[in-house]
Chains A and B, each alone.
Chain A
Amino acid sequence: MSEVATVVAGWGITFVILATYSIWVVFRGKGIGRELGIGETEQSDLEKDVGTITDS
């Protein structure tokens, strides 16, 4: 493997690992939050705000 190919492979693998782990952490949090009704609470608050804006 050439130097450039090795560098591309190294950076590529690093970004894939970090992106996969970050997405997993965020979506796991969102998933459990939804199970516990936390996401719904935030959503309903948001909808309430949007409703107030559109009503006015």
Chain B
Amino acid sequence: MPVANSGAKMTATLITRVLGVSALAATGLMAVLGLVISPPDVVQGEAVRMLYIHVPSIWIAYGGFALTSISSILFLRRSRRRPDQGRHYDRLAGSAAEVGVVFTAITLITGMLWGKVTWGTYWQWDARLTTTVLLFVTYLGYLALRRLPAEPAVRSRRAAVMALISFINVPIVHYSVDWWRTLHQKASLSVGRRPEITGEMYWTLLYSALAVTILATWLIIHRYRVIRLEELRDEEGLEALIASRLNKDFGSH
């Protein structure tokens, strides 16, 4: 049976186990670096430690949503030739979007806590915060669209279009601090610009980004497999339903 033969690949392999253990160890070391070894900031004090989660989380969210968009484009291209093709890209899009949403939620929560200490308030309707919450809600909508009852090919196509529309907000979120006057500070690290932080803080932030990337990769791989298993279960359920219906029809004649 194909399901049984490919079983080991669908639950866990040696590579994903190694990746999972690496993610656990990397996040443990990230906590030690961020909470113990890295010094407090001269201006922000202890609150700077929140940035070691907050900043990498939004990077991962951007990466996840970018992966969703690329996979959606590939899905739309493949499914145009044959409706049953490109399912792989659709699954990848769904799993990356879900992980992106989780990390956007973490960005919002840690940002609010950091804001309370630094700005004296949890929330301000400034450009960065407003566009980020819009990003979160839009991708929640994308995930909800994936769960709406419809023919799988139609549902996947709708979701792919929604993913491409939703991604328009990602550069807006990122450049909002440059385009508008906001309470939110400018990017701590940016390509082509001198970093705002140096020394242990700089390396801790880079390391945190690496640790969170390993974790997110592991989560996306596992979530992809779960989506595949859900599809198989639905297909098996449908086949069983058809078989029982046929038995009933033939049995009655």
Contacts and interface: CB of A to CB of B under 8 A. Distances in A.
Contact of B4 (A21, A32, A41): A41
Contacts, number: 101
Contact of B225 (A14, A15, A29, A37): A29
Interface residues of B, number: 38
Q: Looking at chain B's contact residues, is the secondary structure mostly helix, strand, loop, or mixed?
A: helix
A43 to B, nearest CB: 10
Interface residues of A, number: 29
B47 A7 contact: yes
A55 interface: no
Given A11-B50, A33-B10, A41-B4, 9 more contacts: A7-B35, A7-B46, A10-B110, A10-B113, A14-B106, A29-B226, A29-B229, A32-B232, A36-B229
30 contacts: A1-B116, A3-B47, A6-B113, A7-B50, A10-B53, A11-B34, A13-B109, A13-B110, A13-B113, A14-B106, A17-B105, A17-B109, A21-B102, A25-B219, A25-B223, A28-B226, A29-B10, A29-B11, A29-B222, A32-B232, A33-B7, A33-B10, A33-B229, A36-B232, A37-B7, A38-B4, A38-B7, A38-B10, A38-B229, A41-B7
